[in-house]
Amino acid sequence: MSTGKWFLQVEDEFGAAHQLRNYCGKCENLHGHNFKIRTQVSGTELDPDTGMLIDFKELKSCLGSVLTGLDHKFLNEVPAFKTVNPSSENIAAYVYAELKKKLETANIRLDWVMVAEKEGSRAFYTEE
């Protein structure tokens, strides 16, 4: 068996509206995005029965269950963003925290979460 490390990534998306507080510009107004989310997990031990770190289907399901709470919502009214600005940076941190709770297992590490409002504009969050 290998002594290396495996990295897995999955992607999903959700549509939502938000208004950026304390922002001087167009994004202070109500507007929406189809947010693209990507996440990466890693680990050094594969399940001996399946030869997998985690099933892609399971990882994507965990991510999807987090995003369901944001999809087709006005993010400023979601409890996590009542006082926290719903910026891409804060959305990434929120998704990271919620996904981490769902992936509590000894052999998987949540590396990062990426949020993209549009192609070419991405925010990453990780805990080192």
Question: H helices of 38-127, where?
Answer: 56-68, 88-102
Q: Judge whether 18 counts as a catalytic residue.
A: no
The single residue of 18, 62, 98, 117 carrying the catalytic annotation is 117
Q: Judge whether 27 counts as a catalytic residue.
A: yes
The single residue of 28, 58, 72, 89 carrying the catalytic annotation is 72
d(CA 67, CA 102): 13
The values of phi and psi at residue 75, to 5°, are -60, -30
d(CA 116, CA 119): 7
The single residue of 11, 27, 45, 89 carrying the catalytic annotation is 27
Q: Judge whether 117 counts as a catalytic residue.
A: yes
Say if strands 6-18 and 73-74 run parallel, antiparallel, or are unpaired: parallel
∠ CA 78-90-34, nearest 5°, is: 70
Tell me 80's DSSP state.
G
Active site residues: 27, 72, 117
